Amino acid sequence: MDDTLRRLAAPAPPTTVLAAPLAPLWTSFLAKSAKVRGVEGARELRWAFEELRVAIFAPELKTPVPVSAAKVAAALAALK
């Protein structure tokens, strides 16, 4: 509870600052997903992006699987 109150009292960083690591990954995903062969791999990566958004914008909700920009970038590089 104390942590929540402290976060409410502190000014929130701009959304653009929070989204900075996500934007280039998302752009790459959109370009690559049009050419991907395995639909299931693209679908799983799409959910990883959603989990990353939750981790960035609402960390108090906690994601079921730990996710980071580095993990999403690695999965994007492995997508074929």
What does the pLDDT look like over 15-73, one tens digit per residue? 777 888 889 999 999 998 888 877 888 889 999 999 999 998 888 888 888 999 999 99
Instruction: Report the C-alpha gap between 75 and 65 in whole angstroms.
Output: 14
| Long-range contacts (CB closer than 8 Å, 24 or more residues apart) made by 70-78 | 72/25, 72/45, 72/48, 73/25, 75/44, 75/45, 75/48, 76/25, 76/28, 76/29, 76/32, 76/45
DSSP label of 62 = -
Confidence of residue 1 (pLDDT cuts 50, 70, 90): low
Q: Give the residue numbers spanning the domain of 15.
A: 2-78
| C-beta separation of 60 from 4 below 8 A | yes
Integer distance in angstroms from the first to the last C-alpha of the chain? 44
For the stretch 3-17, pLDDT in tens is 777 766 667 677 777
User: Considering its fold, how many domains does the chain have in total?
Assistant: 1
pTM exceeds 0.85, yes or no: no
